[in-house]
């Protein structure tokens, strides 16, 4: 009989159960799952080419069209995270040498710039100081001067806590024969987004933020204009991210219903996403948007009561999903984060990009956007600050 090589097995007898502690996840994502999503995750796997899988895909697609507020046929899921979604947009819409304007409002814009440069796309990056968002005129100047084929903007910048206004940008881009792509990874299901009404050509979000399903899927929609561009592209996109192949699998094209296999799609992740989307649909988008706004405003007020300040000073620029709080003077933020995690089982995030060493980031996303979560968090932060001041750290 064949024998394995002489490497030692890490578990010689039965492996010890790996116990994971559960936390209230108030970072910039992933957010906690509902019980319904957890239940969906406990199902057996399905054949990726089965009728059941196709039915689930059709249902997910219809719910995504509602979520994205679109009738785009090319609305689908790709088995990658939000970053992979942004990369899918870039590589399906642009050839090397094509011109891209990227409106950098924080870390996520920087990453899209990095991605684009790896594909030899001709990038013009424009930037704003922390807490600020781009005006339509600034975006128009950049699109015009760079003769851009694509403008990429981030809607909710989870690194800096800002919300880029999108209305008017689509028609402006189309005047110059430029497409508009939006990173709505953090903002989908938090702040209003209208793909068709605002003429957005490609929008990407991820499963693990306000939608509340496990990380691992990105959700995408492409306008008919973008679909035409994808089909006219000179060079092929990376195989895995090929939206024409994945679009076939998700039955997005009127002229081909072959639903050809592209790769083994996780039925478990899809079932969890289906359940999470159903919950968003049942609540209704207007209530979902209103709830996130209401609870963030409640958080800002309660933080003010204990002497904490928002990093983004202009209220109209604030994203309702992630609130950045200035690090209070005399407090070591990492000690404070550790305190609330150890004593209250709450995870919040330290700063990133524009907020690095300046602010902490609190996500009230999906199921976690509730007043009782805000009350518990503010109690934890208050206790933490008092204890750290007492200890002198």
Instruction: Give yes or no for residue 191 binding ligand PMP (CB under 6 A).
Output: no
Alpha-carbon gap, residue 183 to 205, rounded angstroms? 7
Instruction: Give yes or no for residue 105 binding ligand PMP (CB under 6 A).
Output: no
Instruction: Give yes or no for residue 183 binding ligand PMP (CB under 6 A).
Output: yes
Closest CA to 179 of 117, 99, 261: 99
Alpha-carbon gap, residue 344 to 238, rounded angstroms? 44
Among 53, 186, 280, 312, binds ligand PMP (CB under 6 A): 186
- Please give the backbone phi and psi of residue 185, each rounded to the nearest 5 degrees, phi first: -55, -45
Angle at 261 between CA 256 and CA 266, to 5 degrees: 125
Peptide bond into 90 cis (omega under 30): no
In whole angstroms, the minimum distance from the beta carbon of 201 to ligand PMP comes to: 17
Instruction: Give yes or no for residue 158 binding ligand PMP (CB under 6 A).
Output: yes
Give whichever of 205 and 237 is closer to ligand PMP, judged by the CB atom: 205
Position with the least CB separation from ligand PMP = 82
Among 185, 272, 288, 365, binds ligand PMP (CB under 6 A): 185
In whole angstroms, the minimum distance from the beta carbon of 27 to ligand PMP comes to: 9
Instruction: Give yes or no for residue 364 binding ligand PMP (CB under 6 A).
Output: no
Instruction: Give yes or no for residue 152 binding ligand PMP (CB under 6 A).
Output: no
Tokens of 328: 């209070």
Stretch that binds ligand PMP, among 49-57, 180-188, 255-263, 272-280 (CB under 6 A): 180-188
User: Helices 224-232 and 82-93: crossing angle, nearest 10°?
Assistant: 60
Alpha-carbon gap, residue 322 to 248, rounded angstroms? 35
How many residues form the binding site for ligand PMP (CB under 6 A)? 13
Among 81, 162, 323, 369, binds ligand PMP (CB under 6 A): 81
Are 255 and 122 spatial neighbours (Cβ–Cβ below 8 Å)?
Answer: no
Tokens of 203: 């929008």
Residue 106 backbone class (left: φ over 0; alpha: ψ -120 to 50; beta: rest): left
Q: Name the one residue in this structure whose structure tokens are 């003077």.
A: 329
In whole angstroms, the minimum distance from the beta carbon of 74 to ligand PMP comes to: 21
Instruction: Give yes or no for residue 198 binding ligand PMP (CB under 6 A).
Output: no
Alpha-carbon gap, residue 250 to 259, rounded angstroms? 6
Question: Between residue 235 and residue 294, which ones bind ligand PMP under the rule CB under 6 A?
Answer: none
Give whichever of 28 and 272 is closer to ligand PMP, judged by the CB atom: 28
Instruction: Give yes or no for residue 202 binding ligand PMP (CB under 6 A).
Output: no
Among 83, 268, 379, 387, binds ligand PMP (CB under 6 A): 83
Alpha-carbon gap, residue 233 to 231, rounded angstroms? 6
Among 154, 195, 221, 368, binds ligand PMP (CB under 6 A): 154
Are 78 and 220 spatial neighbours (Cβ–Cβ below 8 Å)?
Answer: yes
Query: What are the residues binding ligand PMP (CB under 6 A)?
Result: 28-29, 81-83, 108, 154, 156, 158, 183, 185-186, 206
């Amino acid at each position: 009989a064949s024998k394995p090589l002489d490497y030692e097995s890490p578990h010689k007898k039965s492996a010890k159960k790996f116990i994971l502690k559960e936390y209230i996840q108030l970072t910039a994502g992933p957010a906690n799952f509902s019980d319904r999503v957890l239940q969906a995750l406990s199902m057996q796997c399905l054949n990726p080419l089965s009728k059941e899988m196709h039915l689930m895909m059709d249902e997910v697609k219809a719910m995504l069209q509602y979520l994205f507020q679109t009738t785009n046929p090319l609305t689908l899921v790709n088995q990658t995270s939000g970053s992979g979604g942004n990369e899918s947009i870039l590589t399906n819409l642009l050839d090397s040498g094509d011109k891209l304007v990227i409106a950098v409002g924080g870390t996520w814009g920087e990453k899209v710039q990095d991605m684009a440069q790896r594909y030899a796309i001709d990038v013009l990056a424009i930037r704003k100081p922390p807490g600020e968002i781009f005006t339509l005129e600034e975006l128009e100047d950049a699109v015009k001067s760079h003769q851009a084929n694509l403008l990429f903007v981030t809607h909710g910048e989870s690194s800096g806590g800002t919300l880029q206004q999108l209305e008017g940008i689509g028609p402006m881009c189309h005047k110059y024969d430029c497409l508009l792509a939006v990173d709505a990874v953090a903002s989908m299901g938090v702040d209003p987004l209208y793909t068709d009404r605002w003429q957005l050509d490609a929008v990407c979000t991820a499963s693990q933020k306000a939608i509340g399903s496990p990380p691992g899927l990105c959700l995408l929609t492409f306008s008919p204009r973008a679909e035409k561009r994808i089909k006219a592209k000179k060079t092929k996109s990376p195989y895995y991210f090929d939206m024409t192949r994945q679009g076939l699998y998700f039955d997005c094209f009127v002229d081909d219903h072959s639903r050809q296999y592209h790769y083994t799609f996780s039925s478990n992740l899809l079932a969890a996403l289906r359940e999470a989307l159903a919950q968003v649909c049942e609540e209704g988008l207007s209530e979902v948007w209103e709830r996130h706004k209401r609870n963030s405003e409640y958080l800002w007020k309660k933080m003010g009561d204990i002497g904490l300040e928002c990093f983004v000073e202009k209220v109209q620029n604030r994203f309702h999903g992630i609130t950045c709080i200035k690090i209070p003077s005399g407090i070591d933020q990492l000690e404070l984060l550790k305190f609330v995690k150890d004593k209250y089982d709450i995870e919040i995030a330290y700063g990133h990009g524009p907020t690095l060493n300046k602010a902490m980031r609190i996500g009230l996303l999906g199921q976690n956007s509730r007043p009782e979560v805000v009350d518990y968090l503010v109690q934890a932060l208050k206790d933490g600050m008092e204890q750290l001041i007492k200890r002198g750290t």
